Structure 1
Amino acid sequence: MEGDGSQTTSGSPNDSQHETGKMFIGGLSWQTSPDSLRDYFSKFGEIRECMVMRDPTTKRSRGFGFITFADAASVDKVLAHPHHELDSKMIDPKVAFPRRAQPKPVDL
């Protein structure tokens, strides 16, 4: 059948670059907790997962984390705002890409 939508996933990889709703959040304050990160980003949509990455030895924040929205359209809402501030620090939310999809650095 034509028009059944079966070809919607056959587009270029960029068409679904943030289909998962996952974002990398850089520039976090050392004091930022998963709860404060969730509170800030919940105004953009329902959050499925929220984590602040910590050093395994010291347990101190590594200054970045990840947010996964229930609806991938929430990523666009976040990206539509040019400035984000949390815990008195400018943070840098970006679309998260799987590690295998990132280009490998090339030594010249």
Structure 2
Amino acid sequence: MVKTLYVGNLSWQTTEEDIKGLFGGEGEIQSVRLITDRNTGRSKGFAFVETTEEVAQKLIDSYNGYEFNGRKIVVSEARPKEERRSSSSRSHNRRF
């Protein structure tokens, strides 16, 4: 089964290849998605990594709090994405 991990507190210079290189020795990494700002293209400092359950637990145990590119990174199981309300729906809920 595929498990998605959250990897946070990354330096802005960190690339998807850097993350693959860091975690690749622990087992197969299926994908890395570094989150970037839509306007600037600059990293937002976090990524999502997909791997197997067994490898995911190894990564959490080995790398949560690990210093990488000058920062202590956070590695944890990703939480499901929360639904965001659109701005148009908020305007309908205003009280006058």
State the secondary structure of the residue aligned to 2:59.
helix
Cα distance in 1 between the residues matched to 2:76 and 2:10: 13
Q: How many percent identity over aligned positions? A: 27
Cα distance in 1 between the residues matched to 2:21 and 2:9: 17
Cα distance in 1 between the residues matched to 2:18 and 2:74: 15
- With normalisation by structure 2, the TM-score equals 0.76
Q: Which residue identity is paired with 1:57? A: N
Match of 2:34 among 39, 49, 52: 52
Q: Which residue identity is paired with 2:7? A: I
What aligned pairs does 1:26-37 form with structure 2 within 5 A after superposition? 26-37=8-19
More helix by share: 2
1:75 aligned to 2:45? no
Q: Which residue identity is paired with 2:58? A: K
1:66 aligned to 2:48? yes
**Runs of 4+ deviating beyond 6 Å:** none
Match of 2:70 among 85, 88, 92: 88
State the secondary structure of the residue aligned to 2:73.
strand
Where in structure 2 are there 5+ consecutive unaligned residues?
83-96
Where in structure 1 are there 5+ consecutive unaligned residues?
1-18, 101-108
Cα distance in 2 between the residues matched to 1:43 and 1:85: 16
More strand by share: 2
